[in-house]
Structures are given as C-alpha cells and as structure tokens.
Structure 1
Amino acid sequence: MAPGGIGVKEYWDLLTAGRTATRTISFYDPSQFRSRVAAECDFDPLAAGLSQQETRRLDRAAQFAVVSTREALADSGLDTSDLDPGRIGTSLGSAVGCTTSLEREYAVVSDGGREWLVDHEYAIPQLYRHFVPSSMAAEVGRAAGAEGPAAVVSTGCTSGLDSLGHAVELIREGTCDIMIAGATEAPISPITSACFDAILATTPRNDTPESACRPFDKTRSGLVLGEGAAVLVLEELESARARGAHIYAEIAGFAQRCNAYHMTGLKPDGREMSEAIDAALAEARLDPTTIDYINAHGSGTKMNDRHETGAFKRSLGEHAYRTPVSSIKSMIGHSLGAIGSLEIAACALAMEHGVLPPTANLHEPDPELDLDYIPLTAREKKTDVVLSVGSGFGGFQSAMVLARPERSIA
C-alpha cells in the first residue's frame, strides 16, 4: 500500500519506472504550513475490499494494514484455517499510530480547539481503539486468524525494520511458526505538518512537489512526508520449501543500535549505523564484499546523506565504491514507521526481478558524496545479498540483510 502504487504490481511498476508520487497535500488545506507537499495514497477502502463497518471502525493506518495483510496472505498461499492459530503471531510497526483519527476526533470534542475541557459525549465509540496503537496489531491478527503473540513495535522511522526483526526472533526461539509482520502509517495531518515544520525537517520546495524529495542531490532541502503499509509473511525456510511456497528472500541478519547522542542529530562518521550493519552481517555470516545492493534510508537531508555514506564506507571499505545504492523515498516519500517494511518489500522484489530501483530527482550529485547512488533510471542487476538500513529520530539505527536462499545454503 504505497503512494502511486496500490498492490504489489503497481508498487513495483512505480519504482522501476522512477516515477514520483509526491504532490501538494490534498487531505487538508496546507497553506498555513512551511512544507505543503506529501506522498499520498489514492486509497478507496471499499474498493480495496473493506466492508462499510471496517471502514467506520478502523483508522486509515489500520485499514492499510488489514488490506496489505490480506494481499500478503493470498500471495503466500497459506491457508491459516488449517494451522494452529496459537502458533501464528503478529508484529506491526508504526511510529505515530492512529494520528489521522485522533486529530479529527480531538477537533470534534474540543469544538475545533476552542474548548479546553473537551466534551466526551461527542466522541465516537472507536476513539479508545484509536488511542491505543496495539489495536492495529489486533486487527491484523483478526485478518490473519492469528492468536499468537501480537505487538506493535514503535521505534520511530526504524519501526518497519524493527518489527520484522522482532518477528524473526519469535520464529527463531520457537514461539511461532508463522509471523504476519510489517508496518503501517497514515501520518499526513495538520499536527504532523506542524511538528515537522517546527524542526525544519520537511522540504519547503512547494512549487515543484513532484521533484521535492532529492536524496544525495546538491539541491536537496528536506524530506517529504508519506504514508502506506507493507506486510510480509515470515516462516522457517524449510517449512516454506516443504509446502512449495514462493520464497522472495531470506532474512539472513538484523541488528539495531541507538546513538544516545541527539534526538534528531547524526554524526557524519556514521559509526552507530555502521555497527548495526556489521552486526547484521555477522549474524548472516556474510562478508561485506558479498553485498550487491544497498537500499539507503535516503531521506533527503544533508545530515542523513553524509551519515549513511560514512557508514557504508566504514562497514564495506573499498567495496562501498562498487556497490549500487538508491533511495525509494525519492519516489514515495517518507512514511515514518512504515517505510522500513515498504523498503524491505522493494528489496525482495529487486532480488526477484533482477532490477534495482533508482533514486529519482538526482540530477546534481552532491560533490561531497562519492558512491554510486543509481540516478534517475532503474538498473538491471542480479542480486544475491541486499542490505537495507534505517535511521530514526531518537538516534535509532537499524540494518537488515536479505539473501537469496540458494546462496545461503551453498
């Protein structure tokens, strides 16, 4: 579920075409804000298969997650009704939960913010479930028939990677056989715009919204908010092989770190991200020189670009100069907690099709950055090992290594 691409095929078509889905915000009047662009999903819940009751009950982010879950289960070929529901778990990432519904309902109960003492009688019955992010994991569990462990992982912009890492651990320790894992976010709302305006993190490039997000480009001016969801079905490799499942990739390694340095600041040497990369590769038992492609965090800020580039050089050494890197945020924006899972889905599809998505809008490379950032056009390349990284406010740094199963066995 992504801006410009509802469903796996549409999503992949957008990425490989190098099209951007960023535009002027249409969900509300953005004229009062410094940054007035975002990457919105053209999403009709009824057309996507949700009932009228589900549409009324669920926040937009939860709707994304449920629709994505149904698509993932259909693609996996799993019939969960034949499985022990207590052995199926749920791990869902989200940074800001049900922001859209909470803000809308606060405006109602406070009479547009005019009343300090809000009137609860105007609140909808679903307001409490919007207040508790864990309700989204429960809805995914309901959609999947999963009665095992259910959790929301909320670690800012690395939530979508960390939720998958948590799911892997539950399978490895023997708690679950199947994990429905991923992340969802629908943060495009006035309160989110105000928050990012306050720290000058989002781009003021409002006149050309389609090219507003410019990772690794000399003219970049900040990130573009996005929304969306991606859900994956995880199971043991032997189990997937035994039932003849279509296996996109193996999660071979995962690690996370926190820089304990600054809420939004990053050091240019990228040490903490590098440590996460090194740990993920060690868990995968792979040498850095085996990495064929890096999906960068690539948010479109100068600080992030320098930090990532430093981390890649620190972990990969000379091999960093031979490794293609790209940022899909240039096309679908930064969907906060959801983006890590959307990026892992993109990495799995890149391995599946032998095509690397480009970095859109990269017309004037920053001379301080000297790696191969795949500008503008997708590139054909067979990949056996892919690295995806994430960096989040609060100092979170996460890295995940995907491998082609045949390679890891060999």
Structure 2
Amino acid sequence: MMDGSQRRAVITGVGVIAPGGIGRDAFWELLCAGRTATRTISFFDPAGFRSRVAAECDFDPLAHGLTPREVRRMDRAAQFAVVATREAVADSGVDVERLAAERLAVSFGSAVGCTTGLEEEYAVLSDSGRQWLVDQSYGVPHLYGYMVPSTLAAEVADTVGAEGPVSLTSTGCTSGLDAVGRGAALIAEGSADVVVAGATDAPISPITSACFDAIKATTANNGDPEHASRPFDAKRDGFVLGEGAAALVLEEEQAARRRGARIYAEVAGFASRSNAFHMTGLKPDGREMAEAIRQALDRARLDPDAVDYVNAHGSGTKQNDRHETAAFKRSLGDRAYRVPVSSIKSMVGHSLGAIGSIEVAACALALAHQVVPPTANLHHRDAECDLDYVPLTAREHRMRTVLSVGSGFGGFQSAMLLVRR
C-alpha cells in the first residue's frame, strides 16, 4: 500500500459526541441497532421554519467532566471537541504528559465554528435584533474567541498540551474528513508523532436553520421526525441537520506498535477535489468525487476490488445521493455493485463539518467489530440509486478496507481509505 520506508498514520483512539448517546460505545450501539436520533427541534421554537426537525445531542457539559469555568468560556462546539478528545486520548492509552509537546499536533475541522455562541450573544447585544447599534459591554468576556474558528483547535491543543502544528480546517461538509487527512499527512511527513484529529459543529440554531430553509436543502417531513432522514430512498426530500464531534488519536505506526497500542486502522489514502461548478449544485455524473476516490486508491496502492465497504456521504438530498452513486460506479466499476454502501446520516443526521470525522470513527469501529452500519429508513427503491445500501439492519461483514467519502458546499469532494492492520 505504501513504501516500506514511509511513515504510516494509524488510529489508536476514538472519541465521539453524537445524537442518540454520548460516547463511543453509545454511538456504536445506536448504529448497530439502526436507531434514529432525529426529533422535533427543542433548542428553540421552530414554528415558522420550513424544516423543524434535527438530530440533537443530549449533552450536559458538567456531567461529562467540564468545569463551570470551561462551560462559561467555551461555545457548545468547543465543549463537544474537548469531551471527545478526552475520550479518544483515554481510549488510545497515550500518556500525553510524557510526550515531547512539540511532537504532538492538532488537526481539527468545523464548517460553521462557534455558531451557537455567536447567535446567542448577538441576541443579547442587539436585544433580539431590536437595536441596530449594539452595546458590546453586554457580551461575554470570550465573545472574540467565538468569532475566530481556530479557537476550537486551540481548545483541543490546550486540553492535550500540544505545541506542534495546530490548525483548523473549514471546508464545509468535508471539514472532518479533510482534517483527519491533514493529520495523517503531518505524521507521514514527520512533522508530528501523535495528532489529535477530528471535527466539531453545533449548528442547530435559528440562523443555520433559516439558511438551509432558504435553499430547501433540509427535509420538510416534520410530521415524522424519526423517519425524516432517508438517504437513497425514492421519497427522500432533504437532510436532517445534526450536531456533534469526533476526535481520533493518530500515531506513527511503529511507535504505536512499540508501546503495544491497539490499532483500529491505518489511514492509508486520502484525496480531495473541487468541481469548480456551483456553490451548492452537483453534476449528476459524479466525476469529481470519482477522481478523489481514484486518487485515494492510488495513494493507498489499492485496486477498487480491495474496497470492502463504502461509508457514503448519503445526505438524503435528491442530487447528492444520485451524484455519489454515479461516482461509486465511475471509480469502482463492477465492484460498486458488489460492495455494501451505507449512510449513518440516516441515524445521526448531518452535523456539517463534524460529520466527516464522525463517519471516520464509525468506519474504525466497523472494522473493529466487522459490522456494517445500516441505512435506516430506506424503504422505497430509487431506480437511480441501485446499489447495495444495507437497508434498515446492520450486517456482519468481513472487512479489511473501508472507503469513506464526503461532499460539501463549494464543490468540495473528499475520499479516505482506512485499512485494518
């Protein structure tokens, strides 16, 4: 797959904050059960919105180890990131205090940054929009940090004491995949020995909901929230907005083996492309995603027949599901018809920039347990989506290589290959 002299990045720790259950084990249990975590929005009054459903996290920051001061300082997205990071580091067994701080890095992603905190503070400063000129003295002391997305990566770095490269990737809905890809590259190039990589977003707010309402990207199936997210189903009508975070501990493989670490998978190949076509639109032929998949396969030195499972972007919009189905056929050939494909967004919604890392976490757990998560709510066959989408029920399946893909506004297309080692 790679030159023997090249440094390889492996996943040794996984932490997840997701709808339906906090923590890695609760997340995996929900996926295996094919249970959905979508419901009517409870964070604000959704009356008047076109889409009134979301996949919310039942998250109590104090119960999950944050102090009152940390809660006061951090936006909800930062809280997610820190709690997920703590779980991932504990899972990996890495003693971060014994590491050379300059060899420890952070690569995190987010699509919309500290949206929750910014919207809440704007409402306070402007008296819920009644005042055009705002009085900044009413803002929280850390309001400036909410306006700087890199604050999220800085909070993770502070949590683990990282003094190596620290970055925040914001490439829309591929942010999570791209951040993990960058983290693996830091290890491969020798810039770090351990990287905390992942992504976080907490976008369930009036401003975000209004934006997606305007372009009709989210579902209007408000009467049946549990079945509103329907990737690849003929009756799908848009995605369900979600929230959450995932953190992965990446290590240089030989160092991980020397300390006896459990290895979930190697990040064997990653690539991204842009369609340079439309801010939100996708061509039906899937060419750009197919190119990203091909390049990822080339970098991993794998043939399409090596792919044992595809974790799809599977947002549940008409054009996305059609687009990536075409991309799988174009890049994998006949293998596309013989490999299981599924979308966990059917269960945990679409948490924008965070979902790519959450899906990588799902892939790592799928390899560990040799189980393919299902596509929930898939009841009606679509002639344009004619692959094996693992409807409704999880499936035991022998896997060594998993492909995960992402597609984001702005034309971003990313693909990653994980290999069980």
| TM-score, reference length from structure 2 | 0.96
Matched letter for residue 179 of structure 1: V
The whole-number CA distance in structure 2 between the counterparts of 1:122 and 1:237 is: 50
Aligned residues: 405
The whole-number CA distance in structure 1 between the counterparts of 2:53 and 2:401 is: 34
**How far apart are 1:8 and its partner, in Å?**
0.6
Q: Deviations over 1:318-367 (max 9, x none)?
A: 11100100000000000000000000000000000010000000011212
Match of 2:179 in 1: 163
**How far apart are 1:171 and its partner, in Å?**
1.1
**How far apart are 1:274 and its partner, in Å?**
0.2
Aligned residue for 2:22, secondary structure, equals coil
Percent of residue pairs identical:
70
Matched letter for residue 280 of structure 1: A
Question: Unmatched 5+ residue regions in structure 1?
Answer: 406-410
Aligned residue for 2:367, secondary structure, equals helix
Match of 1:370 in 2: 386
The whole-number CA distance in structure 1 between the counterparts of 2:184 and 2:66 is: 29
**How far apart are 1:66 and its partner, in Å?**
0.2
Q: Does 1:49 align with 2:65?
A: yes
Question: Unmatched 5+ residue regions in structure 2?
Answer: 1-16
Match of 2:291 in 1: 275
Aligned with 2:301 (options 273, 285, 291)? 285
Aligned with 2:240 (options 218, 224, 229)? 224
**How far apart are 1:237 and its partner, in Å?**
1.0
Aligned with 2:47 (options 20, 26, 31)? 31
Q: Deviations over 1:285-338 (max 9, x none)?
A: 000011000000000011001100100000111111001000000000000000
Matched letter for residue 249 of structure 2: V
The whole-number CA distance in structure 1 between the counterparts of 2:127 and 2:37 is: 34
Q: Deviations over 1:26-84 (max 9, x none)?
A: 00000010000000000000000000110111000000000000000000001011111
Match of 2:312 in 1: 296
Q: Deviations over 1:211-245 (max 9, x none)?
A: 00000101101000000000000011111111100
The whole-number CA distance in structure 2 between the counterparts of 1:93 and 1:153 is: 4
Matched letter for residue 326 of structure 1: S
In angstroms, what is the RMSD of aligned CA positions?
0.5
**How far apart are 1:170 and its partner, in Å?**
1.1
The whole-number CA distance in structure 2 between the counterparts of 1:63 and 1:130 is: 12
Q: Does 1:130 align with 2:146?
A: yes
Aligned residue for 2:418, secondary structure, equals strand
The whole-number CA distance in structure 1 between the counterparts of 2:200 and 2:27 is: 15
Match of 2:275 in 1: 259
Counterparts of residues 349-368 of structure 1 (less than 5 Å) = 349-368=365-384
| TM-score, reference length from structure 1 | 0.98
Aligned residue for 1:253, secondary structure, equals strand
The whole-number CA distance in structure 2 between the counterparts of 1:365 and 1:352 is: 30
Counterparts of residues 73-88 of structure 1 (less than 5 Å) = 73-88=89-104
**How far apart are 1:369 and its partner, in Å?**
1.6
Aligned residue for 2:269, secondary structure, equals strand
The whole-number CA distance in structure 2 between the counterparts of 1:276 and 1:15 is: 27
Match of 1:194 in 2: 210
**How far apart are 1:368 and its partner, in Å?**
2.0
The whole-number CA distance in structure 2 between the counterparts of 1:369 and 1:105 is: 43
Match of 2:255 in 1: 239
